[in-house]
Amino acid sequence: MGRLGGTMDRMPEPEIRHLLLIREVSALCREDWVSVLKSHAESARYGSSVESAMNAFHQAAGESPGFSSVSVRRFVDLHVVLHQDQVSERRASSRFESAAEHLRGIDPFLIRAGLMLCESTLLENELPGAQGTGQLVFTALTVSGAMVPWPGLGISPFLNATSADHLKLCRAVQKTGDPEPWLLYFLDGVARQCEDLIGRMARIEETVQTWKRTLSAPRHAAALLLTEKLAGNPFLTVRGAAAQLDAAFTTAQRAVDKLLEAGILQETTNQRRDRIFCANDIFAVLNEPPRVISAAPWREKEIIPELKLLEEPPAPPPRHDPAAKLPIPY
């Protein structure tokens, strides 16, 4: 996590970090992140559900990491916004407060945040959506706990890619009371996800720097500025470009034409008006499947096979059948 934090601090394009957060929040809001980014390119809005979730996330990430009553209230607000569920607000407050009370005082903080993630997964049956809320709360905690800079570390890609192991290990904690197998899995996921994000951010940054060298001439100043904006959203419209540049429509059109000529942008709509363009080099990096599967140390230690045995009910004892034939005596 220290390497990820250092990479984020050195990143000259803050839009890259914001882009990765939008992808994470969109998935947890059950929104297609590509549609969300296209909507923002057209109207400068991400959509009501994603924008509400982003606002709630900002508030949760700004709270004390100590699981105070105020921070728990922020977690509940995040749950209500993510799942549009006002009905279960009181129940969510009770469950999250109980989980926070159970985890207070556990150190180091990363272990506490990991156990919170496990607790929220176990709440899913009685509080639908708690698992997704826990994943975004974990991201907020990595910011408020000063583990990594804004916007924090999202672990959802790892959990989704290993969902079967995730659920089995959480249930094992509930059955055995031993969190060590879960923590081994969780910490490996944190390491893998850090590596994945570092790689994506570095490639996006390298792509933007290459574009800037291509457009270094002073007459390309508007197009150069747009390349920085593409790091925050690979989709672009001429109208959106004019708003971002605070320039006339014709100026934005010339800048977009220059990006098309340089091969930085490609048109996606094939229509004469309201065209949407995409920087495919950045989109390809975002759209790659997560590279989060390692050697799976929790499997190497045969934790998963052992848990499968725990989940299988014991075989009933054999019953005596009086009609069964008795052995023939010699």
Using the Cα atoms of residue 223, residue 229, residue 234 and residue 237 in order, give the sign of their dihedral. Answer: negative
pLDDT at residue number 220: 84
Q: Are 237 and 42 in contact (CB under 8 A)?
A: yes
> What pLDDT, on the 0 to 100 scale, is given for residue 281?
95
Q: Output the tens digit of pLDDT for each of the chain's 330 residues.
A: 666 656 555 655 567 878 888 888 888 888 899 999 998 888 888 877 888 888 888 888 877 666 666 677 788 888 888 887 666 777 788 887 777 777 777 778 888 888 889 988 988 888 888 888 888 888 888 887 777 776 778 888 888 888 889 999 999 998 998 999 999 999 999 888 888 888 888 899 899 999 988 887 777 889 999 998 898 899 999 999 999 999 999 999 999 999 999 999 999 987 778 899 999 999 999 898 877 655 455 554 444 434 343 344 455 555 544 444 444 443
Q: Which tokens belong to 85?
A: 């569920």
pLDDT value of residue 170? 92
Residues 28, 132: contact at Cβ < 8 Å?
Answer: yes
The CA-based dihedral angle spanning residues 20, 23, 28, 32, taken in that order and rounded to the nearest 10 degrees: 180
User: How big is the CA angle at 311 (ends 310 and 317), to the nearest 5 degrees?
Assistant: 80
Q: Are the beta carbons of 148 and 8 closer than 8 angstroms? A: yes
Instruction: Write down the pLDDT at residue 311.
Output: 42
pTM over 0.85: no
Written as one letter, the residue type at 73 is R
- Predicted confidence at residue 65, as pLDDT, reads 62
Cα separation, 108 vs 190, whole angstroms: 15
Domains of the chain: 12-154 (no CATH), 200-287 (1.10.10.10)
* 174 contacts: CB under 8 Å, gap ≥ 6: 122
Given this model, what pLDDT does residue 66 score?
Answer: 61
State how far the alpha carbon of 91 is from the alpha carbons of 52, 74, 79, in Å.
21, 14, 11
**Which pLDDT score, from 0 to 100, does residue 308 have?**
41
pLDDT of residue 326: 42
Strand order in the sheet with 266-267: 235-236, 277-278, 266-267
DSSP H stretches of helix in 215-248: 221-230, 238-245
Q: Tell me the residue ranges of DSSP E strands in 189-284.
A: 235-236, 266-267, 277-278
